[in-house]
Structure 1
């Protein structure tokens, strides 16, 4: 196919990777990394920071009387890499849950995150041409970010005229020529409005969260337990505005799939188990049902997610392999052009192959040192430690490379937000646990409880390395797609991604330590007397820790995993049947698994956000039909405002959660800002429900008001 020309021609040179841009990108990195770490630990989800970072960058650089579309693109590239790298929290808290760590060592966490993320960049650079430039893959987040940058960046004098001559198809901005000043004013207003939308959502979510987790005048959820004989059903919802934003972003298809997972869990599996399991004398029905979900039903979700991830890899194997072959062929061709000084188009310049090879070797060496430091206190011989280090690093590099190509393709196909990182983590932790189990048998490592704990810890540490590679592989090609569409220089974007990985990896350890000492994690409370109900659930880390522990102790509930695998196979067959029928109806199997293993207060709130987005879309379609105008044109501004408001809700709640964690850590009290006692809890739930519904209504009205 013939690739579309970029927004800024390859023969035009503009400031891109500037000092002020890197500083702004670093500041945004801190904000979005902290937000994603908190959100991931609380609800098991992270959000894409590309679009909010792009909007904030345009507003800030415009206020500084400067900036252009390429500089703004570099800022969002850097910030998005760090925000994505925070997915490492899907595994690392497990090291505290098993008691191997009692905090997050800065240098070890930095090494595993930073080197892993940078390897994710290196592994996907050769894929850029085949998977980004010469590909039909949609890259939803990358295309959306490019559109935001195009709309929000003012036309540049001289450039649009050159693009007019170069592109007779009319793809230039409407503001070229005599109307350039008007377009500058319009796009400036649009970027300022976008920044205000993010700020509005952030302030509303921050105030609501402060009233909930700080002042305690709003409840965090409301639940009704419904006994039916000996069976127990649960109806519940949480009151997290960040989850409303996340649900709005994932859409109605994924939302309904999560709802199916919730119904299968709390409407089928848990009631059956509570009806067929002997009730203990002491625990309440709520504790009994929740315990069965946590120790049994959750593994059904793990099996469903795992088989869905494997099926995704299998179904994409052929196009992925073809893409990799074409990429390496094109990469070699580009190198020869560069060596012959024939490459004049900066939009076709990746990092040089010798730099890729050198940086890759350095990063692998950093991993060797990091793994060695991780095992340095183990009472083992140098030979055994060396074999374990080599085993972990080789697995992480080889499996990480394979996963990088797969994740890059999946990100292009379905987007970074819906790529099955959790499923890949489950597959990785099972494989590496079995590998370490085999290697450790001869050394006698598993003969003691301490040895088994060390083996479990190494399996989790290795899986975290794979997750770091996978998440950045997702993000890298998405950002390179944005860069290609706006006319960025690839090697500069790749440098920005590397910088983002380093900055993000430096932010993650202190934020993790802060949140751990303030709230604790499920099954890992740092101080005596802490309230377990306030602990961050860290659902993926809990699940992967349980899987690794079960494998090494031979106590893994394989029957529940098997049920999950069987359920996943059935759901895959249903999805295939829907695909053959055509149309838009699909069944995201991984989302069903997420609905099973996420706490229901989280899953239900995500569904509410998805339904809210669906209702807004239906209202926009009705208005467009009544006015007899094109829906896409009519709803464009409204949809953009919805994305920005949703991003603001996520950032606002997450940041205030980090701030409150700092207050808790400083004072040493669980609820230092509370203005009501425990007796106010029933009233706080209904008060929160009323305000929560009001905020959802305001969100919908504000989005609908943006339609033109």
Structure 2
């Protein structure tokens, strides 16, 4: 234990709390941008630990438990951002809000995050102490903390990569307009509509490196199914039977035609695949769900009167129940303000509490088995919204103007709670290994989650005003897609009388079922290659140009492993060779995302999207953008192939 051989080791110090809050806020803003842009978020605990070790060293040195507190609080940056951007922008897309209302966003994100902390507390003893699960990222974080004597190389890699990502973003279409955002080629080959392109974002390249080649292949395959098979087939054989769309596309370029067919028809294949994926996720985790719930109930029944060691003390159950009541009351008032009927708002609150506890248990169990990075929070949220919508359909009727909004509100709170709950158990696993005090970590995560919630609405409003959210418009052609939120809006709206292409959704559900069957076949053969249905659905649902750099980043990760002669089944060796590269990838993502937020400020202030532009036409600069992306890819590859001092690893994967 970290406190053996002397007095108590400092943990929850003022400087550790302050640094954790600062990092949590910065990383949550970066993840909010990345999530709206590409539908993915990255875990932030280990990059925060590397920064913490460097900063506290400058301040005279920090203890391992102080650094653990910092990474615990900073992990809320990815959790709260994921919970918010997966759901709350749906209220803008549905037209219920014109902008993000500060106190409402704070209530949903802050209280949802705090409920996630409370619901996960009783799970710690069972899942970490008595029946320990692997918690791979928690173990990795503990190793980083224990090997933290030399954080310098990691900080230099992060700083260099963040600078590269920021400079490229500044030069791109949203800033100086020296290079475009995408390099696209399209045309007609007889009646075949051909379209291919790539986004020129270093952040997406970094995401691909972090998630690896397997996921890169899956998401690109989904995009190819959508853009190179479904869209050409629809254009060739079904467009003539759609007079409205056929008239709209008369004389349109191949690129415009592909985009219109995708946005009005084909992307709903992804909706169907995600729906069946969310339902399958719950079904396949039914045993895990029962295990998590039983663990929570068993832990809650244990007496707290007996003396326990400092390294085994959780937040007191009595105070947890009081806090739960205090947090639920404002949510009940919020739901009442939406529906104006206590006979509806009370069931809404009950659904939120029950679903919140159930799905925090599932999220924690999954985090223990496969890590927070592979935790299907979006699938959990879809299932919550479907269940909530079904109940509200009975209470409010199909034509209710607020039914879809009410379902989204329930899903938003549950999504924030589930995201925080999974990360909380990872952090507690790291703390258990290094000898931290659980209640101090739980308190720090609550502080971090609420701190992130405080800045979510201003960040979202800034991004919405500068870029737009949802489908692109002539005024905002670089609109942030917000894919999960768009999906949640579609699901909720479809349940309450909205007009959706249900034929496409049904076909997409069939595609999702086929993907699930194929993945189960691979699982039965003990294949190292898997096809997670939610990853494939994201590929189907998003533009192909976003998937190409993710795939290329995965190829880079594979080339690094080949260069070092690594066996893919040797997780320890793979982690070692990827340490510098994954830090470089995290830096690219953070630098680009923060620059995207910084660029939004002059755009909003001047009310001009081209306020920073130094170039008018970007078409001839596509090749320049491709060269820039190639240079960034080479730097990323070299970061993991040149000899390096020991560097801390970064946890992989989108949420």
2:289 & 2:394 partners in 1: Cα distance?
A: 31
Which residue is equivalent to 2:512? 568
Which residue is equivalent to 1:255? 216
Which of 105, 111, 115 in structure 2 is aligned with 1:109? 105
Query: Residues 550 and 557 of structure 1 are in contact (CA less than 8 Å); yes or no, is this contact kept in structure 2?
Result: no
Which of 127, 131, 137 in structure 1 is aligned with 2:123? 127
Query: Residues 28 and 53 of structure 1 are in contact (CA less than 8 Å); yes or no, is this contact kept in structure 2?
Result: yes
Q: Which shifted more, 490-499 or 555-564?
A: 555-564
Q: Is residue 651 from structure 1 mapped to residue 646 from structure 2 by the alignment?
A: no
Task: Quickly say closer, same or farther: Cα 1:313–1:634, change in 2 above 3 A.
Answer: closer
Query: Matched residue of 2:24: which SS?
Result: helix
Q: Is residue 151 from structure 1 mapped to residue 147 from structure 2 by the alignment?
A: yes
Which residue is equivalent to 2:178? 217
Q: Which shifted more, 354-363 or 134-143?
A: 134-143
Q: Note the 1:179-194 alignment, pairs <5 A.
A: 187=149, 190-194=150-154
Task: Quickly say closer, same or farther: Cα 1:581–1:634, change in 2 above 3 A.
Answer: closer
Query: Residues 55 and 194 of structure 1 are in contact (CA less than 8 Å); yes or no, is this contact kept in structure 2?
Result: yes
1:223 & 1:392 partners in 2: Cα distance?
A: 46
1:204 & 1:541 partners in 2: Cα distance?
A: 29
Query: Residues 54 and 76 of structure 1 are in contact (CA less than 8 Å); yes or no, is this contact kept in structure 2?
Result: yes
Task: Quickly say closer, same or farther: Cα 1:234–1:199, change in 2 above 3 A.
Answer: same
2:126 & 2:223 partners in 1: Cα distance?
A: 39
Task: Quickly say closer, same or farther: Cα 1:570–1:632, change in 2 above 3 A.
Answer: closer
Q: Deviations for 1:89-135, whole angstroms, at most 9, x for unmatched residues?
A: 11211212222211111111100110011111111111112222344
Q: Is residue 275 from structure 1 mapped to residue 212 from structure 2 by the alignment?
A: no
Which of 312, 321, 343 in structure 1 is aligned with 2:281? 312
Which residue is equivalent to 2:490? 546
Query: Matched residue of 1:534: which SS?
Result: coil
Which residue is equivalent to 1:55? 50
Query: Matched residue of 1:214: which SS?
Result: coil
Q: Note the 1:295-310 alignment, pairs <5 A.
A: 295-310=264-279
Task: Quickly say closer, same or farther: Cα 1:323–1:92, change in 2 above 3 A.
Answer: closer
Q: Is residue 489 from structure 1 mapped to residue 455 from structure 2 by the alignment?
A: no
1:265, distance to aligned residue in structure 2 (A) = 1.0
2:69 & 2:549 partners in 1: Cα distance?
A: 34
Q: Which shifted more, 457-466 or 366-375?
A: 366-375
1:136, distance to aligned residue in structure 2 (A) = 5.3
Q: Is residue 245 from structure 1 mapped to residue 241 from structure 2 by the alignment?
A: no
Query: Residues 216 and 675 of structure 1 are in contact (CA less than 8 Å); yes or no, is this contact kept in structure 2?
Result: yes
Which of 409, 430, 433 in structure 1 is aligned with 2:389? 433
Q: Is residue 324 from structure 1 mapped to residue 311 from structure 2 by the alignment?
A: no
Query: Residues 32 and 82 of structure 1 are in contact (CA less than 8 Å); yes or no, is this contact kept in structure 2?
Result: yes
Query: Residues 220 and 544 of structure 2 are in contact (CA less than 8 Å); yes or no, is this contact kept in structure 1?
Result: no
Q: Is residue 601 from structure 1 mapped to residue 597 from structure 2 by the alignment?
A: no
Which of 318, 324, 339 in structure 2 is aligned with 1:354? 318
Over aligned residue pairs, what C-alpha RMSD do you find? 2.3
Q: How many residues were matched structurally? A: 635
Which of 671, 678, 695 in structure 1 is aligned with 2:632? 695
1:532, distance to aligned residue in structure 2 (A) = 2.7
Which of 461, 466, 473 in structure 2 is aligned with 1:518? 466
Q: Which structure has the bigger radius of gyration?
A: 1
Q: Deviations for 1:315-353, whole angstroms, at most 9, x for unmatched residues?
A: 2222442343245334544xx3x4133x2x222111111
Query: Residues 2 and 9 of structure 2 are in contact (CA less than 8 Å); yes or no, is this contact kept in structure 1?
Result: no
1:397 & 1:295 partners in 2: Cα distance?
A: 36
Query: Matched residue of 2:183: which SS?
Result: strand
The ranges of structure 1 where at least 4 consecutive aligned residues each deviate by more than 4 angstroms after the TM superposition are 6-12, 630-637
Query: Residues 378 and 484 of structure 2 are in contact (CA less than 8 Å); yes or no, is this contact kept in structure 1?
Result: yes
Query: Matched residue of 1:560: which SS?
Result: helix
Task: Quickly say closer, same or farther: Cα 1:632–1:264, change in 2 above 3 A.
Answer: closer
1:8, distance to aligned residue in structure 2 (A) = 5.3
Query: Residues 288 and 362 of structure 2 are in contact (CA less than 8 Å); yes or no, is this contact kept in structure 1?
Result: no
The unaligned stretches of length 5 or more in structure 2 are 241-245, 646-655
1:261, distance to aligned residue in structure 2 (A) = 0.7
